[in-house]
């Protein structure tokens, strides 16, 4: 009888139960204060302030930098922490949104410019 009851509870839990696990790293530290900004490298470049971003269950600092936006009319929307949830920064404009990919940082001059990625149009961005 006990085995039958245990089997019924287990089967019922599999059908109706849901278990969810998540890792929360909390809010990022305050932004670092940088008092000087390098000289603008040329026309079409915009400054992106330094920011914290989530990486491997911790926050990593991304120094500010000049870059050319990934597409015409794009503006940088900085990352933010709101309602116990972290929202990554992204480029937005002309009905498009494109996330900054940190693998692009190796190309200091054109890290965001003209990537033509399929990463745009993120529905989870606000």
Encode pLDDT of 39-91 as tens digits. Answer: 999 999 999 999 998 888 899 999 999 998 989 999 999 999 999 888 989 99
DSSP label at 14? H
More confident residue, 72 or 122: 72
pLDDT at site 78: 92
Q: Using an 8 Å Cβ cutoff, are 102 and 62 in contact? A: yes
Q: How far apart are the first and last CA of the chain?
A: 54
Predicted confidence (pLDDT) at residue 125 exceeds the cutoff of 50: no
Yes or no: say if 66 and 38 are a contact pair by the CB < 8 Å rule: yes
Residue 99 has a pLDDT of: 86
The chain-wide mean pLDDT, for the chain, equals 78
In this prediction, residue 91 carries a pLDDT of 93
Q: Where are the domains of the chain?
A: 42-117
| Stronger pLDDT, 14 or 83, i.e. the higher one | 83
Please name every residue paired with 81 in a beta bridge, in sequence order, or none if there are none. 86
The pLDDT of residue 97: 93
- A 10 A CB-CB count for 67 gives 23
Task: Give phi and psi for 107, each to the nearest 5.
Answer: -90, 85
Q: 2-6, 25-29, 101-105: which has the highest mean pLDDT?
A: 25-29
């Amino acid at each position: 009888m006990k085995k039958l009851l245990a089997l019924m509870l287990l089967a019922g839990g599999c059908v109706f139960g849901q278990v969810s696990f998540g890792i929360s790293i909390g809010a990022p530290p305050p932004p670092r204060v940088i008092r000087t900004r390098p000289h603008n490298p040329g026309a079409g470049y915009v400054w992106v302030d330094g920011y914290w971003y989530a990486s491997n269950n911790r926050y990593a600092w991304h120094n500010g930098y000049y870059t050319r936006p990934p597409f015409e009319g794009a503006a940088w929307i900085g990352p933010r922490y709101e309602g116990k949830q972290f929202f990554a920064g992204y480029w937005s404009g002309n009905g498009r949104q494109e996330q900054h990919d940190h693998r692009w940082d190796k190309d200091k001059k054109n890290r965001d410019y003209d990537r033509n990625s399929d990463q745009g149009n993120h529905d989870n961005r606000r």
